[in-house]
Amino acid sequence: MFTNAIKNSITNSIKNSIKPIRYIDPIKIRTIRNKGYLMELEKQYDEFLDKNQQILMLLETIYDYLDVRDAIRLQVQRLEIEDKKKELYKNVKKEKIIKYDRTFHLLIEPELRLTEEQIQQGYAPTINEPKEYKCGCASIRYKTQSITKDINLKLYCDIHIGKKKTHDELETRLKGIKRELSQIKRKSNRLDPKKRQSKYPWKNV
């Protein structure tokens, strides 16, 4: 008991020797969007940790404060990435036709991407592409100044991808059926009146 009392009294006197800093819940930090405020906070925490490192280690609270400082740093980085992304989109919006470069390539789904050959041909999407639909489907049209044929690529949502598959299968079957029907009129299938009688009697006279 006696040693505990001493320990407590030492702990208290150590605690009193540091100028406290406001503790903020790291989860709460994720919701703060004021970058300037966060950067100021990060500076304060860095200074606080720097100054009181040994005391905080003795009190075993250093990890709590390190967690807060790291959460602030991470949130600042998150906001910086958001800013950079916005800047990127702004540049993209300035031009009427979007340049198809590596950045654009990575911003869209693989189904909507051009092939290497098409990129070389100079295809580019117009500003409001891709078109988006409520179900999740999307489509994109690419144009080029030298070639008149546009490229139209589609991305299907979970519901419509199944329907598209069925459509393609039926289309393949239909092609086969059409081919078979067209073969009726082939010359080799034509009835030769010298070899076989017609079912229409007047033709046999």
**Environment class of 72 (CB within 10 Å of its CB; exposed 0-12, middle 13-18, buried 19+):** buried
Contact present, 155 and 111 (Cβ < 8 Å): yes
Does position 137 interact with Zn ion (CB under 5 A)? The reply is yes
Q: Which of 10, 57, 81, 135 binds Zn ion (CB under 5 A)?
A: 135
Q: How many CB atoms lie within 10 A of CB 128?
A: 10
Q: Where are the beta strands (DSSP E) in the chain?
A: 124-125, 131-132, 138-143, 151-155
Does position 112 interact with Zn ion (CB under 5 A)? The reply is no
To Zn ion, the closest distance from the beta carbon of 132 in angstroms equals 10
Indicate the residue among 67 and 132 with the shorter CB distance to Zn ion. Answer: 132
Residues that contact Zn ion, how many (by CB under 5 A): 4
Does position 154 interact with Zn ion (CB under 5 A)? The reply is no
Indicate the residue among 73 and 160 with the shorter CB distance to Zn ion. Answer: 160
Residue type, 148: T
Beta pairing class for 138-143 and 131-132: antiparallel
Stretch of 15-23, 38-46, 123-131, 159-167 lying at the interface with Zn ion (CB under 5 A): 159-167
Q: Per-residue x/- marks for Zn ion, 40-59, CB under 5 A? A: --------------------
Does position 160 interact with Zn ion (CB under 5 A)? The reply is yes
Does position 132 interact with Zn ion (CB under 5 A)? The reply is no
- ∠ CA 153-90-103, nearest 5°, is 50
Helix (H, G, I), strand (E, B) or coil at 66: helix
Indicate the residue among 78 and 154 with the shorter CB distance to Zn ion. Answer: 154
Question: Which DSSP symbol is given to 169?
Answer: H
- Contact residues toward Zn ion (CB under 5 A) are 135, 137, 157, 160
